[in-house]
Amino acid sequence: MTKQTISEWAAVKKSKIDNKGMFATKDIPKGTLIIEYAGTRLTKAQSEKRADEIIDEAKNKFGKADSVYIFELNKRYDVDGSPLWNTARYINHSCDPNCESDIIKGKIWVKSIRDIKKGEELSYDYGYDIDEYEDHPCKCGASKCVGYIVSQDDWEKLKRRLARKRLKRMQKN
């Protein structure tokens, strides 16, 4: 069995955002490589197949799409981070994240983008596109939370969609 990845900076604990999360066990300076996002390396073809499998399995089991823990490594490979020994999979999404992913020498790292205080929960932008946003409500609790797990690049699009939906509802009443 593969050994659980660990970080000298953070540990898994219960989270208000989603069951479990990763929390700083000491003050973390900006720019720190906190933990590797480890997993199984897949070619693009394998990765597409795997993503479809994960979504189908989850839809059969829970009636909706589950999280897909696949990260783009480069043009040829992705990393499937769903194995439970990949501790970084517990890091939650936030609309006001304190980390980002960074690819260094063929490895994906979770890196702090600001100073993080001991006890703070780690988070990054999952970068989901806007398709099926309704399957991914966000509970990050940030004051600027947009309500769904959607990449910040798509926030303008999301806000327009939500506004259109509200308008439709008002017209119905």
State the residues that interact with Zn ion by CB under 5 A.
95, 138, 140, 145
Q: Which is nearer to Zn ion, 116 or 140 (CB)?
A: 140
Distances (CA, A) of 156 to 87, 132, 162: 32, 16, 10
CB of 164 to Zn ion, least distance (A): 20
Residues 141-163 as b/e (b if ≥16 CB within 10 A, e otherwise) read eeeeebebbbeeebeeebeebee
CB of 48 to Zn ion, least distance (A): 28
CB of 156 to Zn ion, least distance (A): 16
- The strand pair at 92-93 and 123-124 is best described as parallel
CB of 123 to Zn ion, least distance (A): 9
Q: Which is nearer to Zn ion, 145 or 158 (CB)?
A: 145
Q: Which is nearer to Zn ion, 65 or 158 (CB)?
A: 158
Q: Which is nearer to Zn ion, 70 or 140 (CB)?
A: 140
Query: Which secondary-structure segment (H or E) carries 168?
Result: helix 155-172
* Interatomic CA distance for residues 99 and 124, integer angstroms: 5
